[in-house]
């Protein structure tokens, strides 16, 4: 049974180098190149989404790549949750560079 109050986030959703057809779910202007699961976890924690990490999970479109996934509390909709996490992911990347 699906969890209606949770959203599954895969790193491919935020990958600037991927096309929409390849699985990117956010606009390129807020996507980042090669997002890591740890960065997504930090971004979700900053937003208070209570992330649950499964590091050995593979996205259904690429079962040979074990990129991991996050299960987070849904904000309003999946799209709004994705946008908020993407914005926070950009901030996390900027903090890492400093």
Query: pLDDT for 37-63, tens place per residue?
Result: 999 999 999 999 999 999 999 988 888
Q: How confident is the model at residue 94 (pLDDT cuts 50, 70, 90)?
A: confident
Quick check: 45 and 53 in contact, CB under 8 A? no
User: What's the pLDDT at 68?
Assistant: 93
Sequence spans of domains, the chain: 6-97
Whole-structure pTM value: 0.89
User: What's the pLDDT at 17?
Assistant: 94
Write the CATH number of the domain with boundaries 6-97. 3.30.56.30
- In this structure, which long-range contacts are made by residues 32-37, counting pairs with CB atoms below 8 Å and at least 24 apart in sequence? 32/86, 32/89, 32/90, 32/93, 35/11, 35/89, 36/11, 37/11, 37/67, 37/68, 37/69, 37/70
pLDDT for residue 97 is more than 90: no
């Amino acid at each position: 049974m699906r969890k209606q109050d949770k959203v599954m986030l895969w790193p491919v959703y935020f990958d600037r180098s991927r096309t929409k057809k390849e699985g990117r779910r956010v606009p390129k202007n807020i996507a980042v190149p090669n997002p890591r699961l740890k960065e997504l976890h930090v971004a979700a924690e900053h937003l208070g989404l209570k992330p649950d990490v499964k590091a050995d999970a593979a996205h259904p479109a690429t079962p040979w790549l074990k990129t991991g996934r996050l299960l987070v509390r849904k904000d309003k909709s999946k799209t709004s949750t994705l946008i908020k996490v993407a914005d926070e992911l950009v901030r996390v990347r900027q903090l890492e560079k400093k």
